Amino acid sequence: MGILTAIAIYFVIWWTLLFAILPIGVRSQAEEGDIVLGTTHSAPANPRLGLKAVLTTIVSALVFAAYYLLFEVWGLSFNSLPHIVPGT
């Protein structure tokens, strides 16, 4: 795997996990009881985006390391998975 391929795979993993991590621990302005004028009631009160970016980076590094270990070091591929033929 080339360096650009590794960066691209990490980038896709990072963005996918970002959307999974974003809703963790978010409370809406309505739940907090402090609604800012001109915003919707469901807007996050304190989204903590910096913390979530760091958490996403750490989790993405772990997922990429598992991917690299399985597919590049141990040589697992999709062709090595058992094929299930429908109707058998």
The residues with which 28 forms a beta bridge, in sequence order, are 44
Verdict on whether the full-model pTM lies above 0.85: no
Phi first, then psi: what are they for 30, rounded to 5°? Answer: -65, -40
pLDDT tens sequence across 7-50: 999 999 999 999 999 999 888 888 888 888 888 888 888 888 99
- pLDDT for the residue numbered 20: 95
Please report which residue ranges of the chain form alpha helices under DSSP H: 3-21, 29-32, 49-68
Q: Check residue 36 and report its DSSP letter.
A: P
